[in-house]
């Protein structure tokens, strides 16, 4: 039974008594797994078509599916609120990338860890990289209150009494990284996966050095009455680690994060304002017509031509989507340099590539493979999938196909497949760049749409505090 999805914004008392039975019994009897989390890129957010997404959401949904119950997500705004929810029987568990610490283990219980991250001092490019703890003494260092980062700093202070920092409660790690990027905060501490995900959005931020030891991330449960539910969670993590689902989820959200450098990211962000507006409406219209995310389609256009309608490559591909002459003929496009025709043709072609791939390939792997085929050719992609099968891996998942594609340039491999040699490393870089561009574009457009909504609300007349209801 696939878990249905629900969001509950208000507090719900899960138990009818002050000492509930083990939460596993409660979950199975009530048919719901109630999970609290934070709305961040590394946990939970609303993605394409306002569908829930995020690494923690994906894991929690699969866990709920395993239990055969409905997943209920309850977002919280702070670390304190997350821990209070499980301590006060308002949720069965926390799934929010929480680090296991000795202090926390005194009041809550943890699952087995599913990910390890480093704590890193983060600074702004051009402000001078601190290389050791003493070089942090004279700078403004800000971290989240009651975070694992604060605990680490307190431990370091025992050896470095001059170390000082500020703890704040309201902002998230993403907000702190943004403040470092704009210079309003000099330093912060971030987990390595948070930094990796934000570095493409905020190209000014840099890692100075790691502090403390690596943190293990885990789900959080009440200290009492959760042993059986934790046991099921541990079995779940063992299974998704063994069958590759955990690796695929992590690749979905983090697999593209180290592809762009500072110059490439800054140039892209500048072109979002200077070039994209000319073609924005066509990207949106073409993507909607073919069931694609317009930000992804625009990212393909940027990877191909940097949004230049008259672009021409040495090999003869042309236009904003750099269509070959054969592809243009296949799509009945007369003028490859006409941007509207090129954009709509590329959207149609990507949709057709997705249709040609086997139904056994699921999203987002289906999209990544279609994009690889757009770059290297459908039959070379088929050869790469054949190599995956020869190696006893899964040809339906991108992380395995991504490893196989470069093998098409090695004689011992391309002689064993039907369509021969290909520059197989190129589609790998191509797909990962597009993923990075699309991720940055989503971040930019979401930020601007939120700002526009806030501005619109400020211009609206204030609503009455009371609502008239007809008897």
At 168-208, the pLDDT tens digits run 886 678 889 889 998 999 999 999 988 987 887 788 899 99
Which of 261, 361, 439, 279 lies closest to 372 in space, CA to CA? 361
List Cα–Cα distances, 323 to 218, 291, 320, 360, 366, in angstroms.
46, 20, 8, 28, 21
Task: Tell me what pLDDT residue 463 has.
Answer: 35
Q: What is the pLDDT of residue 457?
A: 52
- Contacts for 400 with CB less than 8 Å, ≥ 6 apart: 388, 393, 394
Report pTM: 0.68
Whole-number pLDDT of residue 237 = 97
The H-or-E segment that residue 443 falls in is: helix 425-459
Other C-beta atoms closer than 10 Å to the C-beta of 387 total 23
Q: What is the distance between the alpha carbons of residues 202 and 181, in angstroms, rounded to a whole number?
A: 6
- Give residue 451's pLDDT: 60
What are the backbone angles phi and psi of residue 105, rounded to the nearest 5°?
-65, -10
Task: Pick out the chain residues at pLDDT < 70.
Answer: 1-20, 47-50, 170-171, 256-262, 314-315, 450-471
- Report the alpha-carbon distance of residue 205 to residue 195 in Å, rounded: 8
Residue 427 · residue 244 · CB < 8 Å: no
Q: What is the DSSP letter of 106?
A: G
Neighbours of 290 (CB within 10 A): 17
Active-site amino acid positions: 304
Q: For residue 14, what pLDDT is reported?
A: 54
Phi then psi for residue 222, to 5 deg, are -60, 150
- Specify the pLDDT at position 456: 55
């Amino acid at each position: 039974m696939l878990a249905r999805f629900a969001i509950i914004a208000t507090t719900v008392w899960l138990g009818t008594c002050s000492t509930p039975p083990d939460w596993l019994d409660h979950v199975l009897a009530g048919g719901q797994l109630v999970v609290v989390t934070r709305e961040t890129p590394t946990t939970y957010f609303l993605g394409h078509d306002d569908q829930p997404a995020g690494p923690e959401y994906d894991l929690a949904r699969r866990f709920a599916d395993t239990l055969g119950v409905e997943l209920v997500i309850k977002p919280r705004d702070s670390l304190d609120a997350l821990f209070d929810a499980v301590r006060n029987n308002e949720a069965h568990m926390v799934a929010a990338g929480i680090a296991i610490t000795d202090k926390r283990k005194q009041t809550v219980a943890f699952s087995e860890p599913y990910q390890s991250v480093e704590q890193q001092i983060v600074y702004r490019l051009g402000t001078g990289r601190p290389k050791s703890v003493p070089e942090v003494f004279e700078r403004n260092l800000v971290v989240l209150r009651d975070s694992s980062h604060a605990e680490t700093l307190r431990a370091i202070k025992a050896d470095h009494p001059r170390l000082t920092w500020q703890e704040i409660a309201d902002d998230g790690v993403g907000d702190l990284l943004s403040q470092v990027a704009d210079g309003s905060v000099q330093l912060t501490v971030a987990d390595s996966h948070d930094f990796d995900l934000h570095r493409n959005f905020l190209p000014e931020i840099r890692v100075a050095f790691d502090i403390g030891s690596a943190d293990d991330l885990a789900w959080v449960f009440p200290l009492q009455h959760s042993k059986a539910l934790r046991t099921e969670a541990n079995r779940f993590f063992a299974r998704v680690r063994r069958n590759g689902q955990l690796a695929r989820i992590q690749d979905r959200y983090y697999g593209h994060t180290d592809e762009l450098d500072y110059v490439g990211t800054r140039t892209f962000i500048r072109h979002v304002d200077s070039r994209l507006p000319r073609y924005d409406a066509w990207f949106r219209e073409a993507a909607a017509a073919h069931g694609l995310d317009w930000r992804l389609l625009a990212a393909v256009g940027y990877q191909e031509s940097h949004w230049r309608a008259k672009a021409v490559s040495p090999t003869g591909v042309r236009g904003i989507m750099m269509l070959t002459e054969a592809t243009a003929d296949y799509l009945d496009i007369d003028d490859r340099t006409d941007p509207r025709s090129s954009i709509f043709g590329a959207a149609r072609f990507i949709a057709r590539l997705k249709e040609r791939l086997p139904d056994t390939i699921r999203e987002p792997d289906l999209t990544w493979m279609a994009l690889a085929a757009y770059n290297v050719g459908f039959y070379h992609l088929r050869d790469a999938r054949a190599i995956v099968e020869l190696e006893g891996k899964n040809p339906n998942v991108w992380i395995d196909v991504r490893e196989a594609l470069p093998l098409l340039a090695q004689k011992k491999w391309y002689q064993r497949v039907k369509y021969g040699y290909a520059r197989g490393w190129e589609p790998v870089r191509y797909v990962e760049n597009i993923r990075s561009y699309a991720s940055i574009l989503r971040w930019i457009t979401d930020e601007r749409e939120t700002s526009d909504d806030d501005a619109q609300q400020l211009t609206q007349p204030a609503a009455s505090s009371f609502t008239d209801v007809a008897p």
